[in-house]
Structure formats: structure tokens, C-alpha cells
Amino acid sequence: MDEREFFDEKQEKKTANLNCPHCHQAAEYEITWLVRTKKRNLPGRADERDRARFAKARSYMLRKDDMMACKNLRCRKRFEISGVQSVAFTD
């Protein structure tokens, strides 16, 4: 059974304060996350192994965005998101 079947999936936007490494200006950016919330119950066809994996599974979110475009109009360079973790557990 695929791990994805353990979770309900949705996209969420969260704001983060980021510093552009080119112009060093800080601004608020909306980062898209994929939120995977653990289901209450496993689908019926799960076997023993699936149940063991499901028991250990935790809700988490994955950062989808890697790059942001600087909001400073005189800069507008793209930069990599750093300082924001790419995976976070939510329970």
C-alpha cells in the first residue's frame, strides 16, 4: 500500500519572513506547502505491514516552493528558500 493512502492531502499557503540574499531586503512571502494529515482509519484492505507502518506514520507537511522571486522591485531576483525547513511534522 502506498504511503499516500495513509494521508489526506491538501495545499496550504503560509507566510514566512525571508531575506533576499542578493539585496538583503526582508519581506513576507507566501510559501506553498503540501499538508498530509493522517487519516483516522486505514482503508480496509490494509495488511499487517501496512498497519504497522500506519501506526508509525505522522501528519506532516512538505514545502513545495524552493525558489522565491524577490519583492524588491529594484532587485526581483529569484533566490532559494533557506532557513525554512522543507519538512515539518504537524502533530
Write out the residues near Zn ion by the rule CB under 5 A.
20, 22-23, 70, 72, 75
Rounded CA separation 5/18 (Å): 34
**Closer Cβ to Zn ion, 16 or 57, answer by number:** 16
Provide, rounded to whole angstroms, the least separation between the CB of residue 13 and Zn ion.
21
To the nearest whole angstrom, how small is the minimum distance from the Cβ of residue 85 to Zn ion?
22
Considering the complex, state which of residue 61 and residue 70 has its C-beta at the smaller distance from Zn ion.
Answer: 70
**Which residues fall within 8 angstroms of residue 47, CB to CB, at 6 or more apart?**
1
What is the Cα–Cα distance from 17 to 67, expressed in whole angstroms?
14
